[in-house]
């Protein structure tokens, strides 16, 4: 491989100083057109690529932002991978997928949409985005490692211990996603979880005149889950129903935990008239279990979710849900990070985005 050309090579080829080359690459409007064209011709002829690390050292910036997710479903679906030999790989396989299967809809999850928004906004603002996915006790170590390589961190609430984030916040800016507004050191982005779940639950209760309700909750430490439960609880109280009478099953925001919740309901002997789930993945899992047992949705049981992922629009029946602007969450987080980088002393800002209740076939009886 030939030695990569340097800025000195470009300067010598164009007959200008290295400072002029730097200005052409960084602030082209400040250089005369004839000089700019001569330098860019040398850049093209030599195949010169500016060094990002060198620019970063000069500006004391890496030009990269970090995004850390716990990757609930990704980690659930991750099996052991044996060593692969090219000689052993088959050319094709035949799969009987008549009618589809639950595993065929693991796409466009919440994290995928947030990531897409963050990537688009980071690119628009000239940042590279570094992504890490982890889970469990190693989360803090993974984020600390990432922190040394980026200018700022975007982290999902409760995916990393608060103590670790507070320590890191002394070094780099941190924006927390899906967090409550607070007086701490972090900017944060959330959505109207309480209001959205309240409106959905009120519709299910009032419009369908149902009896027993089950609620499939998310992790205990999730701010999203806490807010959504509060909305569900207030909708019941408005109808003079006691939330303590609702059957609550704790899940993990994964489709697999939703299936387990559905099986628990089936095994209980009495399936409620409605199952309201704290997110779409669990709602889809409940659909898998109940329809697999021969129950009609919504004829026998109403099922709803929350998030508005694409898989909920493609399920059968389509899942009634509360759509949150997931892509916009990612974009807003990058905007907050840009603000923090430009003004490190600014007061922490909280952004709360609106949601939409999407009434679909899983709740609408004819």
pLDDT of residue 90: 61
- CATH of 1-41, picked from 2.30.29, 1.10.260, 3.10.590, 1.10.3470, is 1.10.260
131-159, pLDDT tens digit by residue? Answer: 887 655 566 777 777 887 889 999 887 77
Output the DSSP codes for 155-196. EETTSS-HHHHHHHTTTS-EEEES----SSS-EEEEE-HHHH
For residues 115 and 103, give the distance between their C-alpha atoms in angstroms, rounded to a whole number: 22
With beta carbons less than 8 A apart as the criterion, state whether 255 and 284 touch. Answer: yes
pLDDT of residue 354: 94
- CATH of 64-75+107-191+326-354, picked from 3.40.50.2300, 3.40.50.720, 3.90.226.10, 1.10.3720.10, is 3.40.50.2300
Q: Please choose, from the candidates 313, 301, 320, the residue with its C-alpha nearest in 3D space to the C-alpha of residue 109.
A: 313
Residue 59 has pLDDT above 80, yes or no: no
Map out the domains of the chain as residue ranges.
Answer: 1-41, 64-75+107-191+326-354, 193-324
Angle at 213 between CA 210 and CA 215, to 5 degrees: 150
| pLDDT (average), residues 304-320 | 94
105 confidence band (pLDDT: 50, 70, 90): very low
pLDDT of residue 80: 59
pLDDT of residue 196: 96
* Domain 64-75+107-191+326-354 matches domain 193-324 at the CATH topology level: yes
Residue 278 has pLDDT above 80, yes or no: yes
Tell me, which fold does domain 193-324 have in CATH?
A: Rossmann fold (3.40.50)
The residue that leads in pLDDT, 134 or 322, is: 322
Radius of gyration over every alpha carbon of the chain, rounded to an integer in angstroms: 26
Can you count the helices (H) and strands (E) in the chain? 14, 12
């Amino acid at each position: 491989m030939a030695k990569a050309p340097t800025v000195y090579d470009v300067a010598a080829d164009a007959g200008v100083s290295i400072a002029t080359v730097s200005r052409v690459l960084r602030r082209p409007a400040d250089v005369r057109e004839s000089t700019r064209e001569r330098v860019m011709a040398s850049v093209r002829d030599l195949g010169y690529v500016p060094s990002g690390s060198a620019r970063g050292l000069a500006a004391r910036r890496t030009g990269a932002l970090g995004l850390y997710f716990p990757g609930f479903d990704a980690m659930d679906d991750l099996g052991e991978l044996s060593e692969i030999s090219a000689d052993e790989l088959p050319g094709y396989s035949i799969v009987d997928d008549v009618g589809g299967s639950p595993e065929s809809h693991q796409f466009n999850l919440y994290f995928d949409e947030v990531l897409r928004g963050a990537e688009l906004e980071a690119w628009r603002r000239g940042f590279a985005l570094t992504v890490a996915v982890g889970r469990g006790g190693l989360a803090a170590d993974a984020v600390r490692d990432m922190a040394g390589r980026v200018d700022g961190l975007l982290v999902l609430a409760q995916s990393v211990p608060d103590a670790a984030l507070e320590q890191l916040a002394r070094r780099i800016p941190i924006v927390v996603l899906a967090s409550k507004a607070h007086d701490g050191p972090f900017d944060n982005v959330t959505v109207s979880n309480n209001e959205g779940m309240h409106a959905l639950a009120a519709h299910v209760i009032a419009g369908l005149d149902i009896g027993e309700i089950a609620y499939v909750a998310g992790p205990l430490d999730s701010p999203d889950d806490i807010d959504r439960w509060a909305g569900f609880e207030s909708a019941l109280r408005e109808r003079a129903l006691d939330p303590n009478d609702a059957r609550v099953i704790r899940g993990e925001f994964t489709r697999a935990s939703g299936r387990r919740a559905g099986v628990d309901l089936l095994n209980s002997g009495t399936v409620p008239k409605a199952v309201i789930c704290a997110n779409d993945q669990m709602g889809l899992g409940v659909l898998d279990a109940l329809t697999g047992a021969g129950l009609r949705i919504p004829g026998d049981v109403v099922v709803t979710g929350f998030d508005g992922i694409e898989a909920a629009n493609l399920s059968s029946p389509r899942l009634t849900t509360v759509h949150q602007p997931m892509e916009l969450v990612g974009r807003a987080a990058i905007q907050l990070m840009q603000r923090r980088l430009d003004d490190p002393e600014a007061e922490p800002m909280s952004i709360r985005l609106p949601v939409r209740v999407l009434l679909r076939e899983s709740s609408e009886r004819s």
